Amino acid sequence: MLKWILGAALWLVVAAKQPHILYVVVDDMGWSDIGFPEGADGSIKTPFIDHYATSGLILNRHYSAWCCTPTRASIFTGRYPISLGIQHDVFMTRSEECLTMTQHLLPEIVRSNGYATHMIGKWHLGYPRWDCLPCRRGFDTWMGYINGQTSYLGHYLGNYVDFMKCSDNPDTGLEFNVLSNLAGTYSMDIYQAEALKLIKHHNASQPLFLNLMVQTPHSPFYSPTKYMVEGCYSDRCVMQGMMKATEVYMEAVINSLKEKDMWNNTIMIFHSDNGAQESDFNSNYPLKGWKSALWEGGIRNPAFVYSENEQLMPNRGVKSNAHIHVSDWYKTIITFSGGWSNWRAAGKEMPLDLDSIDQSGHILYGEPGPRRSIMLHIDPVMRVAAYIKDDYKLLIGDQDSSATCRSTMVYPMNEMSIDWDIIKLYDVFSDPSETTDVHDDYPSITTVMSEELKSFLNHQKPMQCQLAMVDGAYPNSDVPYYLPWDFSAPGNKSDGGMPGYGYV
């Protein structure tokens, strides 16, 4: 803890001024759905992104949860999904699921350091109440969608619009119909326009935290013709078009930061939220498996960090094989922003039991990676687990299990939570395709890792399945939008609606 506080203080001394932070998280992007990762098959061309990856620090062993909600919760809380009890499922529509209010989210602490905080894109961390939305959890503004996916043109999930905009300013409030008149406009183009507007009106003397939760290349797979290679219409060509749209978006944002003379003092972080889903559009090659599985293809992500400023980031143009978990961005970004001093000065609690590890020394200065291990997953429904230490990954249980979580049950975390009759060990450093189980060859490694995994069973939160749908929750036939159904939040008007509520 002392080392973390001192590291944040040293960062402020070294940096001439607080850096702007551009945090880009793409959705369901596979290992070979982009150009730069080691071993990628080269079928998708992303020269713009590749330039920044190879000129910065490629994070070759960056790991996430196996699907969207757990990963995003881990990013914003600095905790493993098992520490929150939400590792099994994604949050569902019309339920009371909401990222717990007991956690201090990443943008809240960053904002306490004087940053303007803005988010664009996917949330997927619950919406039953106004206070569950990003603009009440530390972001000054948010434009995006609530659920796991929405259509790129109509902005629909099922039969209802899932696209809104909100502000922490009660005079602006929440607008759930703000994008209805943009039906037919590719959502990536909408996000780009919003990002450029935010940067244009931003006071460059104030540090900026801009979080782009990018929709591409998540299903439903679609790309406008303008982003596709002429004459190429296969599924992989659609993926190429979606990744081109991602590059155009990022290029526009970076150029805008350059025009404001902000880019030279910016740290950019880029990674996927999990592996690609199984489809003909995606490719996790050479990694095994897909999203929602614990094979490398489901949880290992293309990732890099870049800064134009060599004083901010002298460790550039190299690849790192150090372990990084998505929860680590919590402490690392807080260090980039100035640490916890302002938060503590305001009399607020500084959590001491985080799973996050500060990677700033490794990323910026090439210090040895601080992690030797990652607790990847324990699932008491499927009775599976995954744990990484050094070069090895331990997999416990039937990885093809299809056990269903019963919403009426709470699943405790104990040794019976896992099927210890099935044990596999892979050297994922030399065998990223996980072709050879070596647990019989290295019984001592298997035993040590198994015992270390068991230690996580005794202090993690029991897992709760997805909550049931709430009668009268939105959307419904009367209110055809995904939006909170709690109308008692501050800023209400006398008619029961918050500022911005209403129909087009």
pLDDT tens digits for 417-431? 999 999 999 999 999
Mean pLDDT across the chain, nearest whole number?
Answer: 91
Sign of dihedral through CA atoms 91, 97, 103, 108? positive
What is the arithmetic mean of pLDDT over 59-69? Answer: 97
Residue 121 has pLDDT above 50, yes or no: yes
User: Is residue 4's pLDDT more than 50?
Assistant: no
pLDDT of residue 5: 47
Structure confidence by residue, pLDDT tens digits, 204-243: 999 999 999 999 999 999 999 999 999 999 999 999 999 9
Predicted confidence (pLDDT) at residue 276 exceeds the cutoff of 60: yes
Per-residue pLDDT at 172 exceeds 90: no
Task: Give the pLDDT confidence score for residue 65 in this predicted structure.
Answer: 97
The pair of three-digit structure tokens given for residue 279, joined into one six-digit string: 């489809």
pLDDT of residue 19: 98
Q: What is the mean pLDDT of residues 406-426?
A: 90
The per-residue pLDDT for 177 is 63
Torsions phi, psi for 476 (to 5 deg)? -155, -170
Q: Please tell me which residue, 186 or 406, carries the higher pLDDT value.
A: 186
Predicted confidence at residue 239, as pLDDT, reads: 98
187-200 and 235-259 helices cross at what angle (nearest 10)?
Answer: 10
Give the whole-number percent of the chain exceeding pLDDT 70.
Answer: 92
| Domains of the chain as residue ranges with CATH | 2-371 (3.40.720.10), 374-464 (3.30.1120.10)
CA distance 193 to 258: 16
Whether residue 501 is predicted with pLDDT greater than 80 in this model: the reply is no
**Going along 127-219, which residue ranges are E strands?**
141-145, 156-157, 160-161, 164-167, 174-175, 208-213
* pLDDT number for residue 92: 92
User: How many Å apart are CA 20 and CA 257, to the nearest integer?
Assistant: 10
**Residue 451 CA, distance from chain mean position:** 29
pLDDT at 293 over 90: yes
Strand (E) or helix (H) holding 51: helix 47-55
User: Hey, what amino acid is at 232?
Assistant: C
Q: How far apart are the C-alpha atoms of 403 and 287, rounded to whole Å?
A: 24
The CB-side HSE value for 100 (13 A sphere, CA atoms) comes to 14
CB-based burial label for 490 (10 Å; 0-12, 13-18, 19+): exposed
Q: Indicate the pLDDT class of residue 308, thresholds 50, 70 and 90.
A: very high
pLDDT at 133 over 70: yes
pLDDT for the residue 490: 41
Whether the CB-CB separation of 133 and 482 falls below 8 Å is answered with no
Q: Is the pLDDT of residue 20 over 80?
A: yes
CA distance 90 to 87: 8
For residues 324, 326, 330, 335, the Cα torsion angle rounded to the nearest 10 degrees is 30
Question: For residue 271, what pLDDT band results from cuts at 50, 70 and 90?
Answer: very high
Q: Work out the average pLDDT over 259-280.
A: 98
Q: In the predicted model, is pLDDT for residue 178 greater than 70?
A: no
pLDDT at position 480? 84
CA dist 122 and 76 (Å) reads 13
Residue 57 main-chain phi, psi, to 5 deg: -120, 110
Beta strands in 170-241 (DSSP E): 174-175, 208-213
Report the pLDDT averaged over residues 95-113: 95
Provide the pLDDT for residue 14.
44
Instruction: Give 15 or 155, the one with higher predicted confidence.
Output: 155
